Amino acid sequence: AVDQDRTGKITASELRAALVNSNWSQFNEETCRMMIGMFDKDGSGTIDIYEFAALWQYIQQWKNCFDSFDRDRSGTIDAGELNTAFSTFGYRLSPQFCNLCVQKFDRSDRNTMKFDDFIQCCVMLKSLTDAFRKYDVQQSGQVTISYEQVSTLKRKIKETKDMP
């Protein structure tokens, strides 16, 4: 059972204990905190059974997505596979950017990312996109921002990363 202490609520630690990658490694603790934060409707830092059901569906959708881009069936995604995924999502990003993403989220030093890291990377990209779009009022793909706005964006991105 995921709810190990039988409180009716699931913490990030309990979620982490229940989830494994294809190589049987535990999910990244930060990814679990981020997912709890996304589905925690009452701000308690935990999710109930209904929120868990929604989270589980979300994880399954991401798993299907991940598997479709893991072309070599290695259980990991490399920068080329990530670039294909991002392109499918509608992003036109350079191979260098995809390499940077893999480096940031690769916890095994193999120039690849596991499933949980892929989820975290995609959520980070969406957060960056949402922040960028607030300044890209003409939808040109380019913005001019002040130093103060850069600092504000950096803080907002850090808050997204540090969600409980």
Structure token pair of residue 76: 């990991």
- 19 part of a folded domain: yes
Give pLDDT tens digits along the chain (164 positions). 787 778 889 999 999 888 877 767 788 888 898 889 888 989 899 999 999 999 999 889 989 999 999 999 999 999 999 999 999 988 999 999 999 999 999 988 999 999 999 999 988 888 788 888 888 888 888 888 888 888 877 776 666 555 43
- 151 part of a folded domain: yes
| pLDDT for 110 | 92
- 132 part of a folded domain: yes
Q: Check if the beta carbon of residue 79 is closer than 8 Å to that of residue 102.
A: yes
| pLDDT for 102 | 96
| pLDDT for 111 | 94
- 7 part of a folded domain: no
CATH code of the domain containing 136: 1.10.238.10
Q: Check if the beta carbon of residue 156 is closer than 8 Å to that of residue 150.
A: no
Structure token pair of residue 117: 């890291």
Domain tally for the chain? 1
Q: In which residue are the tokens 């916890």 written?
A: 107
- 4 part of a folded domain: no
| Paired strand residues for 77 | 113
Q: Check if the beta carbon of residue 28 is closer than 8 Å to that of residue 18.
A: no
- Residues of the domain holding 117: 12-159
| pLDDT for 163 | 44
- 72 part of a folded domain: yes
Question: For residue 161, which phi and psi values (nearest 5 degrees)?
Answer: -65, -35
- 5 part of a folded domain: no
- 99 part of a folded domain: yes
Question: H helices of the chain, where?
Answer: 12-18, 29-39, 49-69, 79-88, 95-105, 115-135, 147-161
| pLDDT for 93 | 92
